Structure 1
Amino acid sequence: MAEKEKTGNAFVETVKTIVYALLIAGVFRTLFFQPFWIPSGSMKETLLIGDFLFVNKMAYGYSYASCPSLMLPRFGIEIDAMDVCGVFDGDNTRLFGSEPERGDVVVFRHPVSGRDYIKRLIGLPGDTIQVKAGVLNINGTPVELRDDGTFEEEMTAQGPQRLRPRCENGPVGEGGTCIKSRQIETLPNGVSHAILNIGDQQSDRTGVYTVPEGHYFFMGDNRDNSADSRLAQQAGGVGFVPYENLIGRADRIMFSSAGRSMLFFWTWRGDRFFKAVK
């Protein structure tokens, strides 16, 4: 009898340990840092497909969007932050909130789909944003641009989704070199970063966007391959993003893998481990 009691107690203790560990992990992820894999090439070359980073949730304070989501459609699991913390949605405010800065690389919840996106913050509340002939204009003034050579990558399937890059040098065969023009863009507050261009397209010529109060305007660094605030939410873009939808700031890449799985060690990009996001 004593043997059965010991076995039962050991099982209960194991379950309690697992539950406590999950609770601690949940609290840590909700309050401090959230893991994020880069699934697409919209932020190249700043962020590559397969980069893994932790999002600093303390940077902007907390809202309903700070609650973690669990999206595993393959297994029929789609738990969004709204399902858990939706009671805090609706006032577009944050607890311990602080304002993001222009040029920050930010993870946020898509206002309609609820999916997590990562883009660069370009427009602040009250700003006017327009793209003219591929040049970003903020409040009527073109940003400083400097040509900086090219960005080159192999034409091959990338990441778990097996996405293939778009190239400025036309159709490129498997294993060939895909080239994009690179420029250094400097925002009004002095933040400089690389942007990539593929060719002339509609997103290089936009109307004037006036960012509403309490909202932000985001763009991808891979300018011709990014569904961002230049497109309305109903057209597949993200439109203006409310303050409460910000999740956190991307500060540093922790790990990077060019293959389908992080277990394929021969595809690891050691030169990107612990690299700062600028």
Structure 2
Amino acid sequence: MVQIIGNIIAASNTAPVWKETQSKVWITFSKVKGLNISAKGKLDARGADWWKTCSNTLAFHGCSSFRVHGLTSVNSARNHISISGCSHGTLSSITFTAPDESPNTDGFNIIATSNNIEILDSNIGTGDDCIAINNDSSYINVTGVRCGPGHGISVGSLGKNGEEARVEEIHVKNCSFIGTDNGARIKTWQTSAVWISDVTFRGIRGTIRKEKAINLHCSEKVACTNILVEDINLNSLVSNKKAYSSGTNAYGRTSRSTPLVECLLK
């Protein structure tokens, strides 16, 4: 078990030991099985000092059967938590805070090749996606997350430069968006071969700062299939404007959704 009791604060970018660093991660756990992190303190990455180096605060690579509970991360220079090549992880009661204008400060970024990951009962306020789910990820469950500020919860972007990608069994439920730029999204590059299936957005409430609340933007080459959007109520904060949805080549079902997800009614 790893316990974080006090506050861990990154060095200033003027500190000699850090000044020339090219590290892309501040703290990394690699290829650990059965890791258990319990935190009552917080990580402060001094984000504004390190935005140019784009260092992630905490990364899990190749870990399995791991748990993280109670962590607070503030002022990330890039992603608060990055996950790659991991399986069977539970991350709960997590708090992320970064300035609204901070660049690329995703809360959770599931970078690639991860499965059976649960994100539960967490508060995420960032300058980018609260949660981003990327290539070769499957069986990702997100429940009870409060997102805002930030860009919402996104599957993708996927398929840049024509690369193939596959994502399936992504389930987001009982979450709230508070003044986010966007809401629920699937993002792909249109000319790419991206397979996305079995994605659920259910029980989502809140407000967005723009107007597009739901965006299911699937590849022109390969349709998204078995998409479920259900029990949604998202409203725009733009004066006298209603929130709306947009979709391309997405197929599935929708019910009790505000805004109406017309692309799934074809």
Query: TM-score if structure 1 supplies the norm length?
Result: 0.22
Which of the two has higher C-alpha Rg? 1
Structure richer in helix, relative to its length: 1
